[in-house]
Structure 1
Amino acid sequence: MAEIHRCKWAESDPLLRAYHDEEWGVPEFDSRALWELLMLEGFQAGLAWIIVLRKRDAFRQAFRQFDPVKVVKFKEADVERLMQNPGIIRARAKIEATIQGARVFLEMKNAGIDFSNWAWDLAGGKPIQNTGPVPAESPLSLTMSKELRRRGFKFVGPVIVYAWMQAAGMVNDHSAECFRRKACAKYTLKK
């Protein structure tokens, strides 16, 4: 049987391998799922992604499956409850940023702006096939970061946004030898 080559970052842990093989770099077009992923990327700030992955189910339970309509109703008592939840990353600023993110997401929706269409339009409507070294950020992630912050999102610096773009398949950064590179490259048009 032939050896499977993956991106090096995904080789060290079974959970990372599964995430890499099944999710990372696959274009996501669902607005709610994109928002969830952006919020989780914000929780990752300063930490390793594996920590977020290990806590993802607890995050989903704590944040009501990342339903913005439910999250926007969170009050100070909910923030305190979340601060006591050992299953998630207990950072008050990140918890409050997620509640604020729900508010902004719904404001956009109420203004007739679909979050997925908005993000993918900024990205050019199709996944970018990166063939060079993998950057920490890009001119596009800087532009998206500025737009997200202008709208009121928090924890959306250009590095976090670039990681989100990679995870959501807006940019294909699978290494040249990775078995997922060609599979993710086949996604060329926005659905």
Structure 2
Amino acid sequence: MSSRESILAAVKQNQPSLSPLPDISMFKVSEVDIALKYTDTFTGIGGQVFTLTLLDAIKEIIPVHFDISKRMVTTLQELSDIAELISLDAEPHSYDDVELAIIKARFAVAENGAVWLTEDVMGQRIIPYICQHLAVVVTESSLVSTMHDAYAKIASEDYGFGGFIGGPSKTADIEQALVLGAHGPLSMTVFLIKE
């Protein structure tokens, strides 16, 4: 038996007994206005929120806030007249010049402003990380209060790749100055759709 095998066998033999997960029901938060809480949190971390009643209203906002002369992509068929549809068959590197990506989130978290994205809503895994500006469509009914609620929600989902994205990329470790767009999108916009 090799050293590696003997170490792994010793670790396997000396496992602690299983214990039940702690009760976290005391952390349950009942938001009076979860949409307002989400909006306040997300704008507080450098994002921008537009509350809309119709998805088509996005078409009026895009030209005002983004450079429409540059490449825009989307996974939403409803927006295919203003942005190129993301292709699953395209080489991921071909998206290196995307100015604006518009995708739909599965849900968003009021506690920290994060959106939950899985690869089936991203179109291509690289899209929300490589674009200059990220716009995400979130339905108001999909908002959850806390990360506890978020993890409970995704525990029963079946997905290959997913991630939480909370606002534009940023860092504050360079001379104690906050820098937005440090290693990902320069800006992040959420279109919050009231149903």
| TM interval, short-chain normalised | under 0.3
Calculate the TM-score normalised by the size of structure 2. Answer: 0.27
Higher RCO by CA contacts (8 Å cutoff, separation 6 or greater):
1
**As a proportion of its length, which structure holds more helix?**
1
**As a proportion of its length, which structure holds more strand?**
2
- Larger Rg belongs to: 2
